[in-house]
Amino acid sequence: MANYFVYILYSEKFEKFYVGQTNNIESRLEKHNKGLVNSTMPYIPYCLMFVIQKASRSEAMVLEKKIKNLSKQRILEFIEKYSSQNLVLTNRRLSAC
């Protein structure tokens, strides 16, 4: 069974969140900050604000959808509330962020 990650990126320059899911967090984050993902390219660089590991892609997709439906304020509250539970990485700075 593969592990999947749900992550929240933040563009400080544009004050914008991006929520996604992947089975290779390091590779995916590198692609975001290199401008290789069309939906995030205009807003680079990104900081990784939150990441949580899930046992399956379906679990990751359910959580991703729930987070994407939150307002900016609610995303911040979610990060604060769950940052100590099941957390793999937090507040990790990525290239030039």
In CATH, what number is assigned to the domain containing residue 78?
3.40.1440
26 assigned to some structural domain = yes
Residue 75: which domain range?
4-92
pTM (predicted TM-score): 0.85
Residue 82's pLDDT band, with cuts at 50, 70 and 90, is confident
Query: In the chain, how many domains are there?
Result: 1
Residue 97's pLDDT band, with cuts at 50, 70 and 90, is very low
User: At a CB cut-off of 8 Å and minimum separation 6, what does 2 contact?
Assistant: 23, 56, 57
Give me the mean pLDDT over the 79-85 stretch: 81
SS (H, E, C) 19-41: EEEECCHHHHHHHHHCCCCCCCH
43 assigned to some structural domain = yes
- Helices and strands (DSSP H and E) totals, the chain: 3, 4
> Could you give the percent of the chain with pLDDT greater than 70?
86
97 assigned to some structural domain = no
Cα 43 from Cα 46, distance rounded (Å)? 7
Average pLDDT over the chain, rounded to an integer = 87
58 assigned to some structural domain = yes
